[in-house]
Amino acid sequence: MSLHFSVDQDIRKAYTPPGVLYTSEAVFEAARERIFASSWQYAVPERDVRTPGQTLPFTLLPGFLDEPLLFTRDYDDQLHCLSNVCTHRGNLVCEQGGVEKNLRCRYHGRRFDLCGRMLGMPEFEGVENFPSEEDHLPQVPFARWAGMLFVSLKPAFTFEEAFGPMQERLHWLDPSLFRFSPEHSKEYLIQANWALYCENYLEGFHIPYVHASLNAVLDYGNYTTEIYRYSNLQLGYARDGEPCFDLPPSSVDFGKQIGAYYYWIFPNLMFNFYPWGLSVNVVKPLSVSQTKVSFLTFIGDERLFGNGAAAMLDRVEREDEAVVENVQRGIRSRLYRKGRYSPRREQGTHHFHQLLAERLNG
């Protein structure tokens, strides 16, 4: 079951989705398969599976997709993403990870190589048409970018369609050189629907009203949004005297005072580039009215990061959390119907709602 709604392509005529989008269990369940299982999701850092023979089990979006997966690096130094579910009776194949010659299910002894091909099975003499392709571990599409690994269970669009505009725009920047900082990475639990969190991120309209500290460093008057097929960019201009990127002549933004690139990848990934480095936000639905957001911090310039950047990230997030939770309470109102969009300030949210309608309507 899903909610059928439409969003006019002309933002000047369009209405926002009804409140039930954020409160319906049926819509939440539809999003699980129609949106998240078919999109690209952050998985693990590539550094965690860099040794030939290494195995790395993980769960994709715990508490929501809950898909048991496994990265392996074979002895030809090739990386693989596999289902971590034994093709015999469904037991988990790899529980701890480590360096292995092959994979062996501890339930009945079925063995697989690190490419996922079944090697052998005790007590199966006489079984007809065995082994077949169905006895190998299913391969899962994956992609690398900036030292991170991304997967999609059944991709509705390619990784390049989603990430290409960001990679092309920032071709001069190599985030793989940044240092991951676990001590500055955090998780926030928000009592609101995941889509409300995303649509709040996708517009700068609220900055002067909600984020006084951010508004003091960004030039709100020049704040712009660019729309792509499965992503969009909010371009934050720095005020005079505030840190900005030292852009090369090959950048299309050369000569501009850019303080931040805010990229959103459908449906739930945010890549926030600052002069000091990168903050990756992964929005993880838990229930129709509860969401976990992981902030992964990658530092490129320790000096700039030390100038209060971490404190601002946390403050802005807490301010967003408070307002989004208020919207979750308000959206349940029996008197609320639909809203309208600001053509100048809410292009990103309008784009997000169009993609939601496209996927949920099937």
Question: 309-331 and 194-201 helices cross at what angle (nearest 10)?
Answer: 130
Indicate if 164 and 140 belong to the same structural domain: no
Q: 150 lies in a domain?
A: no
Range of the domain at 118: 41-145
pLDDT, one tens digit per residue, over 166-179 is 999 999 999 999 99
pLDDT, one tens digit per residue, over 1-59 is 446 889 999 999 999 999 999 999 999 999 999 999 999 999 999 999 999 999 999 99
Determine the average pLDDT of the residues in 92-106: 95
pLDDT, one tens digit per residue, over 118-168 is 999 999 999 999 999 999 999 999 999 999 999 999 999 999 999 999 999
First to last CA, the chain: 11
Q: 308 lies in a domain?
A: yes
CA atoms of 183 and 42, how far apart (whole Å): 20
CA atoms of 346 and 340, how far apart (whole Å): 9
Indicate if 50 and 132 belong to the same structural domain: yes
Q: What is the pLDDT of residue 309?
A: 56
Whole-prediction pTM: 0.94
Indicate if 285 and 347 belong to the same structural domain: yes
Indicate if 255 and 310 belong to the same structural domain: yes
Q: What is the pLDDT of residue 312?
A: 80
Secondary element (H or E) of residue 315: helix 309-331
